[in-house]
Structure 1
Amino acid sequence: MLKGIESIVSPKSIAVVGATNRPGSVGQSVFSNLITGGYQGVLYPVNPKSPSIMGVKAYKSLLDIPDQVEMVVMVIPAGAVIPTMEQAAEKGATGAVVITAGFKEIGGEGVQMEKDLARVAKEKGIRLVGPNCLGVMNTNPAVSMNASFSNQIPKKGNIAFISQSGALCTSVLDVAAGRNIGFSKFISFGNKADVTECDLLEYLRDDDDTQVILMYLEDISDGQRFIEISREIAWKAKKPMLALKSGTSPEGAKAASSHTGSLAGSEAAYDAVFMQSGIQRVEGIGELFHYAQAFSAQTPPKGKRIAIVTNAGGPGIMATDAAVRHGLQLAQFSDETKKRLAEHLPPTASLNNPVDVIGDATHERYKAAVADVLEDDNVDGAIVILTPQAMTDILETAEIVPAVAKNTDKPVLCSFMGIVDVSEGAEYLQKNGIPNYIFPEAAVRSMAAMANWRAKLEAEGRKSKHVQANCELGHNMIMDSMGKEEEHVMHQHEANTLLSCYGLPILKNKLAKDESELEKAAKEVGFPLVMKIVSPQIIHKSDAGGVKVGINNLEEAKAAYAEILANAKNYNPDAEIQGVYMEQMAGKGVEVIIGGSRDQMGPIVMFGLGGTLVEVFKDVSFRLAPMWESSAEAMIKGVKSYKILEGVRGNPRSDIAAVKDCILRVSQMLAENPEINELDINPLIVYPEGKGCAVADCRVMLKKK
């Protein structure tokens, strides 16, 4: 698989089908970029009407080329792409870039044409980037390939950028040029008829030229594979990944009958994927480049304790506020550091963090202060702020920062505030590996992103846990429950049996199909108990008046039975009543919800504050199944109501370990049973620490695959 990607990223020969001498055309731009970019391989322009393209002998068709061609770039009408792909196979090509548009993005016959293109490429053993893409760039001097129609040719760097959007790529290249940022690889993969983001990540994982990976994604083809490869990149290759994902509007969320389904829109799934993959999600292009500058030039801090050095109090306070907001800590200087600062700074300077070297500071004063704080063992990284004032020697100050930073493995970021007055100093910093930001908040956010990435990679407990379960019995029960139905709702009396197969803590229960079974069922369950309507047409039982709690004797049970049936008939006269479910009354505890749903990303698990108001507060977190133990722990700690589980106002700490165990069991159940489309365990009653928890209500929605 990777051999085919190598043929696209580092081909030894390229044929450009559709190369032309016509100024302003895509065919001319692609061929011109390959020549002017210094491509180190052999080029073959293909054009049936021109004897030469830019002075290079042209061929009427691929088949006329006398030598083998490794990669083919197509800039031709959509209808000619598939025949050209077949010719490429005859020439032994193993890679292709189809820049041509007019496929699935236009709908209609374009969709089928793209499917046919993908099929032909697969049959012929050719890896395909595109169609509808900007192209591919590789800045390695041994390749020097710009097989795109971009006006910008990036400088060499250690950042790889992959994108579904070609138009965005041109803007990114322009911004990068303005910020002196270089790239190792730059790949626009368009409609991804064949090569996907997963294929490219797998390639970049092992690419020695790439140390940071940036992504623009509109969707992910295979959530589980994406997570697996990204985890390898993060935890084994230790390469930071930053992702800009479009489509965050709530209109993208799907309608669903379960609480989990209504809360778990596709964006929640993407957030879960990024968190589980070690990927930092960013909000926009500006943030993407801010973080990329830091990651590509500096070593992430070993902790979150930072020092701030500034020549103005206001920006120092701004940076301090931003640091606290983003989870950083102001380092507490040692007495030795304060002593050295006192020796180097005037009496009016602040020796605490942030260090204010005062507005008349020279570069020598900056040099001493930055060196002093970086030598402190309590400091993990530093942010240097400069505001341009009449007496400020900007360039000289910029020159001391990389000189001091080279003596430490701690990251240093700068904010030489402004654009015009500080331009010479800012340019010097960038050229010498010190990221500079116009405002301090951006520098702080970038430092926080690096610190969070480092902390995430060093977190313990990244182990998958396979729980003991009667998986075969559970799956057979699912299939028996569905029968011939395409979709089926397992209400609590069925769902509890399934949950018990996976070791989830269900309460003692019994189904009374009619009033004659009521007394026997009540005695088997024992008082006090809860009674609930069982009907395929009544999903939310409380809304229908179909739940009665605190039933203490048989007389109350009979009265509750009659009332439940009457309420159900009033709620939905056509509802099929299958009986009344009787269940042991759960003890008092904290109510939480564990749910699951399934979309194009795969199975996703939800956790949050439970009860009837779960959709009001929306205090929930998500992860894809199956998950690591650390992912389950992060889910629990990631909700605002986590403090309730820890115990507040005299209440005992809840059994958080039991909740984690339940999440992992639900995760495994979802992963092993694709027929489970949605499920809700709501509420799960969590008892004090060491006392476990209990499933108070649940339902499972099945759908044949």
Structure 2
Amino acid sequence: MRTGRIPVGHYLNALFAPKSVAIIGVSASSRRSGNVFLDRLRKNGFEGRAYAVGRNGGVVDGEQIYRSVADLPEVPDLVFGAVGAQATPQAMIDAAKAGVQVGIVFTAGFAEMSSDGAEVQRDMVARCNELGMRVVGPNCMGVFSTGSRMNLTDVESLDPGPIGFASQSGNIALSVFDVAKRHDLGFQTFVSFGNQADIPVADYVEHMAQDDAVEIILLYLESLQENVGPDFIARCRAVAARKPIVAIKGGVTDAGRRAAASHTSRLSAAEDIYDAAFEQAGIVQVRDLDHVVAVVEALLRCPPMKGGNVAIVGSGGGHSTVGTDAVERAGLTVPAFDQELKDTFGGYLPPWAPMSNPVDMTGGFTEDLTLFQTLMRYPLSKPEFHGGLSYGLYGEGWRPGLVDDNGLTFRTAAPLFAALQRELGKPIVFYTPFAKDFEESFSEMRRSGVPCYGSLAEAAAGLAALQKRGAFLARLDGLQRTEPDPRQPGAGSGFTLTEHESLQKIAAAGVPAVRQELVSSAEEAVAAADAMGYPVVLKAQLTDVAHKSDVNGVRLGLTTADEVAAAFQQMSSIPGAGGAVDCTVSQQITGDRELLLGIRKDVTFGHTVVIGVGGVLTEVAARVAVLIPPLDAAEFAAAIERSPVAAYLGAWRGRPAVDLQELHRQVTALHEMCRADESVESVDINPLMAVGSDLRAADAAVVLESEPARGVHDVR
């Protein structure tokens, strides 16, 4: 019996390229699921040895059915479990005892069903891991590998191609398979991982990245395992530097997260955290399932875009208008052409043809099918344009048997787009409504290297993905690659320190705070204000109130000793204060703007940072940047620049820009504090006052896992 963890590369080779496979759940007397998978494995030409295992033994299709994996003439690399949920755990453990490297649990009925099922799942995986076997699933669709001609999935066959696909959902995978066929795309490797009880997604990503036949990696995720977020980001970013990764995230709304939890047994992290994770990892995120394959096609066939300016050249006024809308809705721009370009187009088109971007050639291409490429060459030859959308009623579905004046047909003219793309190094995508159906001219265009879409929204999504890919590759230059934090967070019950305690704690960590004194009487408050200088701010120190101002626990602009004393007396009567409340006296400072800076633990991604509009506008403005440390200064600045708060942090109306170097220093200091003190669950600084290049905390709340032990003379 072998025990211990198997190296990643070794066990994934056993999963995707096994020399032998055993199907558990085969019957001689009925057509059970195991029989179906065994037939499929053999009919697809699996190059290794396939064994049938069933508790009753017998013969199926002339081959022996073994009663257990231990009875096989050799130890298989991979077992596929297609027996009931009650029989599955022991079947997997027996396979692990026999020395099998990887087991696939096709069966449902575990953590996605109940807490009892989750416990059974945990025990099964733990025991298999102790014996040296890794587990795919449970509740999964199986695995496919073109290289080993292995098909252990719910589909009869898959078209071969350059996509590596890892999906948490089998039904989503079926949808993608169907659409990919219409885009002339196929798959090199596929795995459905269901409940994700054992193997982390990043392992699949890294393995697919090492396969030269995989040119792009596609992920469907509903959640990640706990505490793997930083590792997922770091490993995916290393892969994305070499190969594109596309992901669609299920479970981003409240209802969607509930559905994902019931489906995959794990509650998804908040949408903005996953957005930040994908952005930092260089993963191109797609929000619309209908656009996933379109994005994959663009990233496979086209060079990345080095900017966001798109030239639109084709035939058809309505399509040109809708196409422009689609491109700009996707976050790209369609700048007007200059007079030089308009004059150039005028040499080819009638004077009434629109030529300002978009260009509508008004049907003239029927005599000259090269006109699409000829006209697109001019704007894409200029440095200010980064990609092109061509469009028109192209294809046999509109003009069957068309031959232009050059002797070209729709099929023979199609590769001209790709030649222009290769020459200029800029992406071109094509739209025709007829591309929703199969036609050899569209396949020819795709095979030559240009995506051909039957939807303008898909075309726009493809271009937007190319721009995201180009921006990520540009960011990689000069960025220091940081290692993930090996120390992962836990969870706690939550005890909030007072404002004064919180400011002291963050100040000790390196985040400057306003000058502040803790006082217990009106006389102490007046003395502190006199020493500090007016105006001052008086705040009640309350631990169970989210907004002190809501209960009259904050008084601003106090300019005299009498005002300070009166304010202290009023705060002593706050409901729940019992006539005795500690207060702080602080300097009142006026800044150029107020920021929100927060850091908190996330069960998947570790510590996450939120930077946004602060002060009383925080809940109204609702504009934030979400980041996942560690980030070096360049990565931090780039993340802020592409975030919704970029303009707020920049220079405006005579106010200087926020010093991003100092902000990065403070974020790093808070992150280090949280790493060093695992009892810290979250830190919220609001507002963080920006005064020139100075950033100073005026209020803060630090939440600990539990209430700290206090001495009689503790400074609070």
- TM-score scaled by length of structure 2: 0.86
Q: 8 Å contact 2:436–2:453 — kept in the other structure?
A: no
Q: Secondary structure at the match of 2:667?
A: helix
| Aligned equivalents of 1:291, 1:106: Cα separation in 2 | 34
Moved more, 103-112 or 665-674: 665-674
Corresponding position: 1:592 with 2:595: yes
| Aligned equivalents of 2:11, 2:437: Cα separation in 1 | 49
| Aligned equivalents of 2:70, 2:590: Cα separation in 1 | 78
Q: 8 Å contact 1:163–1:187 — kept in the other structure?
A: yes
Corresponding position: 1:19 with 2:41: no
Aligned residues: 667
Deviation at 1:375, TM superposition (A): 4.7
Task: Classify 1:340/1:196 alpha carbon distance in 2 versus 1 (closer, same or farther; 3 Å).
Answer: same
Deviation at 1:495, TM superposition (A): 1.2
Per-residue deviation, residues 576-602 of structure 1 (Å, max 9, x unmatched) = x55111111112321111112223122
Q: 8 Å contact 1:96–1:127 — kept in the other structure?
A: yes
Q: 8 Å contact 1:163–1:216 — kept in the other structure?
A: yes
Per-residue deviation, residues 165-185 of structure 1 (Å, max 9, x unmatched) = 123222222222333221121
Deviation at 1:152, TM superposition (A): 4.0
| Aligned equivalents of 1:667, 1:543: Cα separation in 2 | 30
Deviation at 1:7, TM superposition (A): 0.9
Per-residue deviation, residues 655-677 of structure 1 (Å, max 9, x unmatched) = 44433433333333334433222
| Aligned equivalents of 1:696, 1:673: Cα separation in 2 | 22
Corresponding position: 1:204 with 2:208: yes
Q: 8 Å contact 2:572–2:581 — kept in the other structure?
A: no
| Aligned equivalents of 1:579, 1:184: Cα separation in 2 | 67
Q: 8 Å contact 1:625–1:671 — kept in the other structure?
A: no
Deviation at 1:520, TM superposition (A): 3.8
Structure 2 counterparts to residues 67-86 of structure 1, below 5 A: 67-86=74-93
Task: Classify 1:338/1:109 alpha carbon distance in 2 versus 1 (closer, same or farther; 3 Å).
Answer: same
| Aligned equivalents of 2:428, 2:522: Cα separation in 1 | 75
Deviation at 1:397, TM superposition (A): 3.3
Deviation at 1:534, TM superposition (A): 1.0
1:462 to 469, 473, 479: 479
2:415 to 399, 402, 417: 402
Moved more, 72-81 or 622-631: 622-631
| Aligned equivalents of 1:533, 1:641: Cα separation in 2 | 31
| Aligned equivalents of 1:344, 1:226: Cα separation in 2 | 52
Corresponding position: 1:699 with 2:701: yes
Other-structure match for 1:489: 496
Other-structure match for 2:174: 170
Deviation at 1:13, TM superposition (A): 0.8
Corresponding position: 1:441 with 2:448: no
Task: Classify 1:397/1:493 alpha carbon distance in 2 versus 1 (closer, same or farther; 3 Å).
Answer: same
Per-residue deviation, residues 509-544 of structure 1 (Å, max 9, x unmatched) = 111133453344334433222111013233421111
Other-structure match for 2:548: 541
1:562 to 548, 569, 587: 569
Counterpart code for 1:137: F
Q: Secondary structure at the match of 2:517?
A: strand
Task: Classify 1:574/1:12 alpha carbon distance in 2 versus 1 (closer, same or farther; 3 Å).
Answer: farther
Q: Secondary structure at the match of 1:72?
A: strand
Q: 8 Å contact 1:414–1:437 — kept in the other structure?
A: yes
Task: Classify 1:103/1:420 alpha carbon distance in 2 versus 1 (closer, same or farther; 3 Å).
Answer: closer
Corresponding position: 1:228 with 2:234: yes
C-alpha RMSD over aligned residues: 3.1
Q: Secondary structure at the match of 2:545?
A: coil
| Aligned equivalents of 2:646, 2:112: Cα separation in 1 | 44
| Aligned equivalents of 1:117, 1:215: Cα separation in 2 | 26
Per-residue deviation, residues 26-69 of structure 1 (Å, max 9, x unmatched) = 21221122111111111111124353333433322212211221
Corresponding position: 1:364 with 2:363: no
Other-structure match for 2:518: 511
Task: Classify 1:349/1:23 alpha carbon distance in 2 versus 1 (closer, same or farther; 3 Å).
Answer: farther
Task: Classify 1:538/1:378 alpha carbon distance in 2 versus 1 (closer, same or farther; 3 Å).
Answer: closer
Q: 8 Å contact 2:22–2:79 — kept in the other structure?
A: yes
Q: 8 Å contact 1:155–1:183 — kept in the other structure?
A: yes
Task: Classify 1:307/1:636 alpha carbon distance in 2 versus 1 (closer, same or farther; 3 Å).
Answer: closer
Structure 2 counterparts to residues 170-569 of structure 1, below 5 A: 170-221=174-225, 222-235=228-241, 237=242, 239-250=243-254, 266-330=270-334, 345=349, 349=353, 352-362=356-366, 363-387=369-393, 393=402, 396-406=409-419, 407-408=422-423, 409-418=425-434, 423-459=439-475, 462-463=479-480, 487-566=494-573, 568=574
Corresponding position: 1:35 with 2:37: no
Query: Which runs of 5 or more residues in structure 1 are unaligned?
Result: 255-263, 467-484
| Aligned equivalents of 1:423, 1:583: Cα separation in 2 | 74
Deviation at 1:126, TM superposition (A): 0.7
Moved more, 264-273 or 185-194: 264-273
1:155 to 155, 159, 169: 159
Structure 2 counterparts to residues 134-145 of structure 1, below 5 A: 134-140=141-147, 143-145=148-150
Per-residue deviation, residues 280-332 of structure 1 (Å, max 9, x unmatched) = 22112211111011112222223333332211122223223333333434477
| Aligned equivalents of 1:531, 1:451: Cα separation in 2 | 51
Per-residue deviation, residues 239-293 of structure 1 (Å, max 9, x unmatched) = 2222111222246899xxxxxxxxx972222222112211122112211111011
| Aligned equivalents of 2:293, 2:189: Cα separation in 1 | 16
Other-structure match for 1:146: 151
Deviation at 1:403, TM superposition (A): 3.4
Per-residue deviation, residues 114-168 of structure 1 (Å, max 9, x unmatched) = 111111111111111011111011112xx111122x1242211111111111232
Per-residue deviation, residues 469-520 of structure 1 (Å, max 9, x unmatched) = xxxxxxxxxxxxxxxx964321221111211122212111111133453344
Task: Classify 1:678/1:461 alpha carbon distance in 2 versus 1 (closer, same or farther; 3 Å).
Answer: farther
Structure 2 counterparts to residues 111-122 of structure 1, below 5 A: 111-122=118-129
